[in-house]
Chain A
Amino acid sequence: MSISTPGGNQRRPSVVSTGKKAPASKATADGKPATDDKSAASGGKTGTTTKTGPKTGAGRPGGGGKGGKGRKPIAPVKVSQGRAWGPIAMFVAVGVLAAGIIGYGAWAAFQGSKPWEERAADIPGITNFRESDPELVAGSQHTPEPVQYTVLPPVAGPHNASWQNCSGDVYDAPIANEHAVHSLEHGAIWITYRPDLPQDQVARLAERVQGTDKTFMSPFEGLDQPISLQAWGYQLKVDDAGDSRIDDFIGALRINASIEGPTALCAQGITATGNAPRNLGGGQ
Chain B
Amino acid sequence: MVTSVEAEVSTNADTSAPGDSTERRPAPRYSLVVVAIALVVGLLAGYAGGWITPTLTRPGEGSPEVGFARDMSAHHAQAVEMGLIAFRNATDPDTQQIGIDIAAAQQGEIGTMQTWLRFWGVDTSGPQAPMAWMPDGAEAMRDRGNLMPGMATPEQMAALRAATGIQVDLLFIQLMRDHHLGGIHMADAIIDMTDDPEVIKVATTMKNTQQTEIANFNTLEKRLTS
The chain A residues found within 8 Å of chain B, CB to CB, are: 1, 3-4, 6, 14, 19, 44, 47-48, 50, 52-66, 69-71, 139-144, 161-163, 259-265, 268, 279-283
Is B219 in contact with A69, judged by CB distance below 8 angstroms? Answer: no
Quick check: is B190 within 8 A (CB to CB) of the other chain?
no
**Of A1, A66, A283, which contacts B94 at CB under 8 A?**
A283
Interface SS of B by simple majority: helix
CB B224 to nearest CB in A, in angstroms, measures 8
The answer to whether A161 and B26 have CB atoms under 8 Å apart is no
- Chain B residues lying within 8 Å of A71, measured Cβ to Cβ, are 21-22
With known contacts A56-B16, A260-B105, A65–B9 Cβ distance under 8 A: yes
Within the assembled complex, what's the spacing in Å between the Cα atoms of A262 and B104?
10
**A115 to B13 Cα, complex, angstroms:** 52
Main secondary structure of the interface of A (DSSP, over half): loop
Asked whether, in the complex, the Cβ of B205 is within 8 Å of the Cβ of A261, the reply is yes
Q: Are B212 and A141 in contact (CB under 8 A)?
A: yes
Q: Answer whether A265 and B104 are a contact pair too, CB < 8 Å, given A4-B5, A64-B16.
A: yes
Distance in Å: Cβ of B8 to nearest Cβ of chain A: 4
* A70-B216 CB under 8 A given contacts A48-B26, A65-B12, A261-B209: no
Is the CB–CB distance between B109 and A161 below 8 Å? no
Complex contacts, A65 vs chain B, CB 8 Å:
9, 12-13, 16
Output the least CB separation between B209 and chain A (Å): 5
Please determine whether B17 and A261 come into contact, CB atoms closer than 8 angstroms. Answer: no
Knowing A14-B29, A261-B209, A281-B223, the reply to whether A62 touches B17 (Cβ < 8 A) is: yes
Which residues of chain B are near A55, meaning CB under 8 Å?
Answer: 28
Which chain B residue shows the least CB distance to A6?
B9
Inter-subunit contact A48/B105 (CB<8 Å): no
CB pair B94 A162 closer than 8 Å = yes
- Among B26, B98, B101, B220, the residue within 8 A (CB) of A61 is B26
14 A-B pairs within 8 Å (CB atoms) are namely A50-B23, A52-B25, A54-B15, A57-B8, A57-B15, A59-B27, A62-B16, A71-B21, A139-B208, A142-B94, A161-B216, A259-B208, A263-B109, A265-B101
A71 to nearest B CB, angstroms? 6
Q: Does B152 contact A (CB under 8 A)?
A: no
- Distance in angstroms from A21 CB to nearest chain B CB is 15
- How far, in Å, is B110 (CB) from chain A's closest CB? 9
Interchain CB contact under 8 A, A142 and B12: no
Residue in A139, A260, A283 whose CB lies within 8 Å of B223: A283
Contacts of A69 in B (CB 8 A): 21
The A-contacting residues of B in range 1-41, CB under 8 angstroms, are: 5, 8-9, 11-13, 15-18, 20-29
Q: Please name the residue on chain B nearest to A37 by beta carbon.
A: B32
A161 touches B98 (CB 8 A): yes
Of the four ranges (under 10, 10 to 19, 20 to 34, 35 or more), the interface on chain B belongs to: 35 or more
Q: Pick the contact of B205: A14, A140, A260 (CB < 8 A).
A: A260
Instruction: Tell me, rounded to whole Å, the shortest Cβ–Cβ distance linking A119 to chain B.
Output: 16
Give the contacting residue for B25; candidates A47, A53, A70, A139; CB below 8 A: A53
How many whole Å from A80's CB to the nearest CB in chain B? 26
A42 to B219, CA, bound (A): 91
Chain B residue, CB-CB nearest to A284: B223
Please give the distance in Å from A132's CB to the nearest CB on chain B: 20
A58 contacts across to B, CB distance below 8 A: 8, 12
A263 touches B104 (CB 8 A): yes
A33 to B71: give the CA distance in the assembly, Å: 76
Q: A53-B25, A142-B219, A260-B105 are in contact. Are A280 and B209 (CB under 8 A)?
A: no
B111 contacts the other chain (Cβ, under 8 Å)? yes
Asked if B89 CB lies within 8 Å of chain A CBs, one says no
CA A260 to CA B108, docked complex, whole Å:
11
Known: A56-B15, A141-B216. 10 other contacts (CB 8 A): A52-B26, A62-B23, A66-B21, A259-B209, A261-B205, A261-B209, A263-B104, A263-B105, A265-B105, A282-B92
How far apart are the CA atoms of A141 and B94 in the complex, in Å? 13
Of the residues B11, B29, B100, B108, contact of A261 by C-beta under 8 Å: B108
- B111 neighbours in A (Cβ, 8 Å): 263
Q: Is there an interface contact between A62 and B25, defined as CB atoms closer than 8 Å?
A: yes
Cα distance, A1 to B29, chains bound together (Å):
13
Q: In the complex, A60 Cα to B107 Cα: how many Å?
A: 69
Across the interface, do A44 and B97 meet the contact criterion of CB distance under 8 Å? no
Q: Which of A3, A14, A48, A61 has the most CB of B within 10 A?
A: A61
Report yes or no: A265 in contact with B100, Cβ–Cβ below 8 A.
yes
- Within the complex, the shortest CB–CB distance from B10 to chain A, in Å, comes to 9
**Set of chain B residues within 8 Å of A162, measured between Cβ atoms:** 93-94, 97
**Residue among A52, A64, A140 with the highest chain B CB neighbour number at 10 A:** A64
- Report A-chain residues with C-beta under 8 Å of the C-beta of B93: 162, 280-281
